[in-house]
């Protein structure tokens, strides 16, 4: 897939494609929340389902396991390669393609359900992503997604990453954690949907210590990995970032796990 040169966020998306290539190991933590999202979305056999920003395919394959006809789309080839491997191991069929949530390669009204788990929230223009996801969704179809609330650890982490990163030279992308605020979601979806419903749950990821958790995050969370690399020549600032990370994570660390609250949203296209 080639990102259009006319896209004002082409360089940003190209960087994101590379940065998220290390995310695959995180699927061990996101697999159980994937089942919760698919259940929350009320996916049933025979439905046509799109998993937008599908990563390694945990949501797409969960939906396929329920008998849905599933397509999965992601910007990062390395994650799609892992998704194909996961499908082969599971013995499930999903049509995985490389693509951009802001320019979905599907005709209007192609799907009964459009899903996204911690994915579409990284599209730089929420209005464009919403327009595309609703465009490919049939009238009466369901849009459902999981996101990180800004007040909890993961949302705060991305705000922290933004503070430590150099200011963008061009228009900044929308902050991903805003997708975890129900008031923002209501505004972004507006009158295009009905029956807007929210539910909260918790993702728990094993960790032997705060440093164990932070080390794993630094190796797999694309924007954090990129930031850590950029601070190698500023050890003072790097130490400050890590101390702030540990302080936030300590609030959620208990019983050899970090417990990360997330928000699920479901709505019906009018």
pLDDT at 1 over 60: no
Query: Distance between CA 184 and CA 178 in Å, rounded?
Result: 7
**Any idea which architecture 10-203+261-269 has in CATH?**
3-Layer(aba) Sandwich (3.40)
Q: What's the predicted TM-score (pTM) here?
A: 0.96
Look up residue 143 and give its DSSP letter: E
**So what's the pLDDT on residue 167?**
85
In this structure, are residues 149 and 155 in contact, taking their beta carbons and an 8 Å threshold? yes
Question: Which strands sit side by side in the sheet containing 111-117, from one edge to the other?
Answer: 94-98, 69-74, 48-52, 111-117, 137-147, 257-269, 193-206
- Closest by Cα among 262, 265, 30 to 152: 262
Average pLDDT of the segment spanning 52-68: 98
Query: Distance between CA 240 and CA 164 in Å, rounded?
Result: 10
Strands 257-269 and 193-206: antiparallel
pLDDT at 52 over 90: yes
- Residue 171: how many CB atoms within 10 A of its CB? 11
Chain mean pLDDT for the chain: 96
Which pLDDT band, with edges at 50, 70 and 90, does 184 fall under? very high
**So what's the pLDDT on residue 124?**
97
Query: Distance between CA 93 and CA 148 in Å, rounded?
Result: 29
Average pLDDT of the segment spanning 125-150: 98
Dump pLDDT digits (tens) for 116-137.
999 999 999 999 999 999 999 9
Average pLDDT of the segment spanning 81-99: 98
Show me where the domains of the chain are located: 10-203+261-269
**So what's the pLDDT on residue 171?**
85
Task: For 40, list phi and psi in degrees, rounded to 5.
Answer: -60, -35
Average pLDDT of the segment spanning 209-237: 97
Dump pLDDT digits (tens) for 185-216.
999 999 999 999 999 999 999 999 999 999 99
């Amino acid at each position: 897939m080639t990102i259009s040169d006319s896209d004002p966020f082409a360089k940003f998306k190209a960087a994101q494609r590379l940065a998220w290539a290390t995310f695959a190991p995180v699927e061990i933590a996101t697999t159980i929340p994937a089942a919760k999202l698919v259940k929350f979305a009320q996916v049933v056999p025979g439905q046509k389902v799109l998993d937008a920003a599908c990563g390694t395919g945990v949501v797409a394959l969960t939906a396929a396991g329920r008998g849905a006809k599933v397509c999965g789309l992601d910007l990062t080839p390395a994650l799609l390669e892992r998704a194909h491997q996961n499908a082969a191991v599971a013995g499930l069929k999903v049509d995985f393609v490389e693509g951009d949530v802001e320019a979905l390669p599907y005709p209007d009204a192609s799907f009964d359900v459009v899903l996204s788990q911690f994915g579409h929230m990284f599209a730089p223009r929420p209005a464009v992503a919403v327009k595309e996801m609703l465009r490919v969704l049939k009238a009466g179809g369901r849009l459902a997604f999981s996101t990180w609330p800004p007040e909890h650890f993961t949302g705060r982490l991305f705000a922290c990453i933004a503070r430590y990163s150099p200011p963008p030279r061009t228009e900044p992308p929308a902050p991903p954690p805003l997708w975890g605020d129900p008031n923002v979601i209501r505004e972004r979806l507006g009158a295009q949907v009905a029956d807007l419903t929210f539910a909260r749950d918790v993702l728990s990821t094993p960790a032997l210590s705060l440093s164990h958790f932070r080390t794993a995050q630094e190796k797999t969370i694309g924007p954090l990995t990129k930031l850590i690399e950029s601070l190698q020549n500023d050890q003072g600032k790097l130490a400050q970032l890590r101390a702030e990370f540990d302080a936030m994570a300590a609030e959620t660390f208990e019983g050899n796990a970090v417990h990360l609250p997330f928000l699920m949203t479901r709505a019906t296209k009018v």
